[in-house]
């Protein structure tokens, strides 16, 4: 059983297109995140949701819109894709109010914009 799963694993698309990446966790966690890993491998937080509510939005362009239909899902929709959006996007989750626990990461989605 995969704890945090993302689809698709690979996504190649043309500039200007709109695409979505899906994330689901079966851990019963309340908090979910999207991280972006750039070409230099740097991981940076994009968004954080607690129980479907947006908590953190780290100066991400408006073209990126996260959507959380329920606390087990956090999808990332990207409009008007640009070359600079090419990266690996990681979804993660943590339980709310639980001490001494780590974040659980999905396997990542490698987005290539051509």
Our CB check for another protein shows the closer of 16 and 42 to be 42
Both structure tokens of 43: 């991981």
Q: Given the rule CB under 8 A, which residues bind another protein?
A: 30-31, 33, 35, 40-45, 48, 50, 55-56, 90, 92, 94-97, 99-100, 102-103, 105-108
Q: How far is the CB of 102 from another protein (least distance, A)?
A: 5
Cβ atoms 55, 68 nearer than 8 A: no
Our CB check for another protein shows the closer of 49 and 81 to be 49
Our CB check for another protein shows the closer of 56 and 72 to be 56
């Amino acid at each position: 059983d995969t704890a945090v799963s993302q689809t698709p694993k690979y996504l190649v698309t043309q500039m200007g297109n709109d695409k979505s990446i899906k994330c689901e966790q079966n851990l019963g966690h309340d908090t979910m995140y999207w991280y972006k890993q750039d070409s230099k491998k740097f991981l940076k937080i994009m968004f954080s949701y607690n129980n479907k509510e947006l908590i953190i939005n780290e100066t991400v362009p408006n073209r990126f819109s996260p959507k959380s239909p329920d606390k087990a899902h956090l999808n990332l929709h990207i409009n008007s894709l640009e070359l600079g959006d090419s990266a690996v996007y990681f979804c993660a989750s943590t339980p709310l109010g639980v001490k001494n626990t780590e974040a659980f990461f999905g396997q990542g989605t490698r987005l290539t914009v051509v």
